[in-house]
Structure formats: C-alpha cells, structure tokens
Amino acid sequence: MGALLAAPACAASSACCFGSAACSLCCSICPTTKSSTTTRIMYAFLLFTSTFLSCIMLLPGIQNKLAENKWFCEGLNEYAGISCAHATGFQAVYRVCAATASFYLLFMLIMIGVKDSKDGRSSIQNGFWFFKYLILGALIVGFFFIRSESLATPLMYIGLIGGFMFILIQLILIVDFAHGLAEAWVTSYEESESNYCYAGLLVTVFGGFALALTAVIIMYIYYASGEGCGLPRFFVIFNTLLCVGLTALSLAPAVQEVSPRSGLVQAVMITGYVMYLTWAALINNPDKACNPSLISIFTGNSTDPSHKTDEGHYGIPLPAQSIVSLFLWFACLLYASIRNSSNTSLGKITGGGNTSDEAIQLSSSLNGADDAESQNSKRVYDNEEEGVAYSYSFFHFMFALASLYVMMTLTSWYKPSNDLSHLNSNMASVWVKIVSSWVCVALYCWTLVAPIIYPDREF
C-alpha cells in the first residue's frame, strides 16, 4: 500500500521539463514553449497519475490485500448487500479521488486573484512540483486513515454534483472543439482547394450521420422496443428529433448569414456525442427488460454473467461505457491544457486569457536583443508578465470537478446503499447523462442563434 501511495512522488522527477522557467534550464531536450502551457500539462499529468492509482485500487489483488489488512471492514461483515471485503476497491477509489479533489480545491483558494507572473503566488503555481506531489500523497494517505463507512455517502452526493458540473464544462469544450475543428477544416479547403480535404469533409459528414442513424436503430430495437420501456423509447425518439433540429438549424439561412462556416461538420460531431450520451444513459437503466447486456446482444444469450454475485467476486466497474467516458475525459483535459485559453469559449466564460501571444511578442521585441537572447536560452519562457493566460483559480476548480467525475465514472455512479451486483444500474446516472445531452444540444444551438440575437457582441 505504501508503495502505491508513493508512486506519484516518483513522477516528480519529470517536473524539470514541465516546471517553471528557472527549473527548465536543467532540461535541454525540452522544446521551447510557454510556461502557461507546460504548467497546465504538468497539473494534468498529476491528475492522470491519481486516476491511474484509482484504477489500480480496483484490481482484485489490491482489493484482496486491503481486505486482508482489515482496512475499512474492521468490525463490519457486510456492506452494500455483499461481503464487506468486496467493497474495499470502491471505498479506496472514493478516497483517492476525494484527496485529489481536495488538493485542487486548496490550490483554487490559494490562487484567487492572481493577475500576472509578478504575483508571488505565480511561482507556486508554476513550480515546486516535488512538494505538490508530496502534498497530494499526504492527502491520499490521510483520507485512507478515515475508515468510517459513513464517509462514502456524502462523498457520493458531492461526486454526483461535481461530476455533473464537470460534464457541463466538458460540453463547452466539446462544442468549442467542434466549432474550432470545422472552421480550421473549411479554411484549409478554401485556401488549398484540395480534393483530399473535400473528400475528408464528405466522409466525415455522411459517415458520421450514417453511424448516428445506425446507433438510433440499434438503441430502439434493443433498449426501447420492449413492453414497459416507454421512458427509454422517449429518450431515443426525443434525442433523435433534437439532433435533426440542430442539424436543420445549422443550415438555416439566418444562421449562415452571421456564421457562414457553421454547418454539417459541427452538427455531425454534436449528434455523435448526443447519441453516445443517450446510449450511456440507456445501459444504466435498472430495468433489465429494457437494458440487455452487450454480451447478450452479440451472443443472443439472455443470461448476463456480470449480474451474478458470489463470495469470491470483487466488483470491478469498468464496462465499455466507463472506458469511453474516461477516454473523452482524457481528451477534454488534454484539450483544455494545450489550447490557448484566451481563444476558447471556456476561457471567455471564466475571464481567463488577459494577455495574448501578440502582446508578449511585442513586449519581447521592445526589450532588445539581449532579452531575446535570454528568452531563447530558456526552454520554458514566461508569457504571463503582462497578465495570466488563464484563470488559475478556475483551472484548479475544473480539475477538482474532473477528479470527482473520475470517482463517479470508475464506480459507475455508485450509490453506497446499492447492491454491488447491480452497480451499473441506477436512475441517477440515467438522468445525469440524459440531461447532459439536452444541455449539449441547447448549448450548441445557443452558439448558433446568439450572434443573431446579439449582433453587437462577440461570440
């Protein structure tokens, strides 16, 4: 156990390439880049390390070691409807992720009001990585000393709220990515008139809509056609109509007039994400008559071995939906870490991006050749002397929510009072994902109609 908790500290040795400008001098192999970008990447790596540790806690061997040491289950014979020893993995995940969220919330409070790199707290934000890993490790160990079974219930509700809030942020990132990619693709085609680029656009649009239509048919047949499946049927039909509506809105003459590059590329990406959220909701339906397992769909066998519980079984909630969710989570965090916040919808909403690359370059050119030489000698240069490139506090708040989202995803939005043999089946997860799909459609449609309603504002 001690070795596992010490693992994050071992990664601190890589901080040389991702630390402050002063630290970067010792690492000549790193490319020249901005301190704001390398800092975000380093914080993302810290979160990925914590997530990896959480996944390790779900391995049967680790759960067995925790059970043998009587961690958490001392004095308890049964928990959540099964042998208490088999619930240790979920309790461990709760504590690792709660500690990680606490770490980011602590830094969120510390970084409130930082305006530029001249603030003393900026050096804390951009350096001292070894000590940050030590703080995170200490928090994780501290949470593991809390053995009370009553801790899981408040953490579950906190995770439910935090996970939903991160989904909203994730939706903003996905919509922003859809607009950015589509505009870049169309611009590239208009400038080069490449047949390959045009073919790629056609394949993406028509192939994407074909996959979405196939998904609708499969979901309706297997998840919504049975008796008593009225609610799943409504979800499938209603979300399909929403996707048709947003596609039509993307091509509306009024929208094209103010946003000529809005079109089918964005629409097909949002449609695909809405279909994924719909499927993710349907496979969490506790009504098994309307929720056949993937194994039964492909094999025709109605018996789902994953729903069987025995005394030697440890719950490991990593179904296909959880894996896809973690992949999207990883992609969104990576996108948030490397994208210039001042150019993103998220950056505009949070008030980040008080400076720009142009301003930094102008300031550098005015400082003369000596300063330019000094900057070139540094692998990571300070691009926040005139103002921070992103909101430090909101960045940490977003990563705290991301930690809670990981906690809920790895435990399949587990409610402590549920039987672990039906871990993936709860209405809370169903409604979180369905409401998220509706918010995603509303957010995308707002990006289309807002320039029409408020023509004098920048969107």
pLDDT at 244: 95
Given a cut of 50, whether residue 11 has pLDDT beyond it is no
Same domain as 121, residue 87: yes
**Based on the structure, what is the number of domains in the chain?**
2
Residue 151 has pLDDT above 60, yes or no: yes
* Number of CB atoms found within 10 A of residue 319's CB: 18
Q: Band the pLDDT of 310: cuts 50, 70, 90.
A: very low
Q: Give CA–CA dist 319/297, Å, rounded.
A: 15
The per-residue pLDDT for 106 is 94
Same structural domain for residues 156 and 267?
no
Q: Is the dihedral of CA 111, 325, 318, 158 positive or negative?
A: positive
pLDDT at position 152, please? Answer: 74
Same domain, 205 and 140: no
Verify that 82 and 229 share a domain, yes or no.
no
Q: Label residue 459 by pLDDT band (50, 70, 90).
A: low
pTM value?
A: 0.73
Pair 243, 287 in one domain: yes
How far is the C-alpha of 34 from the C-alpha of 21, rounded, in Å? 9
Q: Are both 66 and 167 inside the same structural domain?
A: yes
Does some domain include residue 356?
A: no
Residue 357, pLDDT > 50, answer no
Do 102 and 156 fall within a single domain? Answer: yes
Is residue 206 located within the same domain as residue 261? yes
Same domain, yes or no: 143 and 117:
yes
Average pLDDT, rounded, for the chain: 74
Q: What is the DSSP letter of 31?
A: P
Q: What is the per-residue pLDDT for 68?
A: 75
List phi, psi (to 5°) of 11. -75, -10
Pairing of strands 380-381, 33-34: parallel
Is residue 238 situated within a structural domain? yes
Q: Are residues 249 and 118 located together in one domain of the fold?
A: no
Max mean pLDDT among 198-207, 330-339, 418-427 falls in: 198-207
Cβ-proximal residues to 129 (8 Å cutoff; 6+ apart), any chain: 12, 15, 18, 19, 23, 42
In a domain, 102, yes or no: yes
User: Which domain covers residue 51, as residue numbers?
Assistant: 31-178+388-411
For 413-430, what is each residue's pLDDT tens digit?
Answer: 665 555 455 555 567 778
168 and 36 inside one domain? yes
306 within domain boundaries: no
Lowest pLDDT segment from 365-369, 432-436, 439-443: 365-369
Are 155 and 208 contained in the same domain? no
340 inside domain = no
- Is residue 355 situated within a structural domain? no
Task: With cut-offs at 50, 70 and 90, classify the pLDDT of residue 227.
Answer: confident
